């Protein structure tokens, strides 16, 4: 019996605005964190170097426009979905926004 796809990155529901899409990856706002996130189009935690570089380039381009160059950190820790590569660009205030500290 084939397992149904339950990976939300593979399902790629367009719940939030998408900033970029190509054959390798897409960049959208993370629904949970409200920061840009790049997602690989393959379900695997370990992209080859060229794909990794491609994805981080697109993530940084989006994040540079959003936060300004150097105003954010690329976070490659995959807490929620450890078996599918994705990375966040987090500005210093994302945690406050996330938990309602900013009014």
SS (H, E, C) the chain: CCCCCCCHHHHCCCCCCEEEECCCEEEEECCCCCCEEEEECCCCCCCCHHHHHHHHHHHHHHHHHHHCCCCCEEECCCCCCCCCCEEEEECCCHHHHHCCCCC
Q: Counting contacts by CB under 5 A, is residue 63 touching Zn ion?
A: no
Residue from 15, 18, 43, 95 that binds Zn ion (CB under 5 A)?
A: 43
User: Applying CB under 5 A, what is the total number of residues that bind Zn ion?
Assistant: 8
Instruction: Give the one residue of 30, 39, 55, 89 binding Zn ion; rule: CB under 5 A.
Output: 30
Does the footprint of Zn ion cover residue 10 (CB under 5 A)?
yes
Q: How far is the CB of 45 from Zn ion (least distance, A)?
A: 10
15 contacts Zn ion (rule: CB under 5 A) = no
* Of 32 and 96, CB closest to Zn ion: 32
Chain centre distance of CA 51: 14
Return residues touching Zn ion (CB under 5 A): 7, 9-10, 30, 32-33, 43, 84
């Amino acid at each position: 019996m084939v397992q149904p796809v339950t990976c939300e990155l593979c399902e790629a529901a367009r719940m939030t605005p998408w900033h970029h899409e190509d054959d390798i990856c897409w960049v959208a706002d993370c629904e949970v964190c409200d920061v840009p996130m790049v997602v690989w189009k393959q379900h695997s935690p370990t992209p080859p170097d060229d794909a990794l570089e491609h994805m981080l380039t697109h993530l940084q381009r989006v994040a540079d426009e959003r936060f300004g160059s150097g105003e954010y950190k690329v976070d490659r820790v995959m807490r929620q979905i450890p078996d599918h590569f994705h990375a966040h660009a987090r500005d210093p205030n994302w945690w406050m926004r996330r938990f309602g500290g900013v009014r």
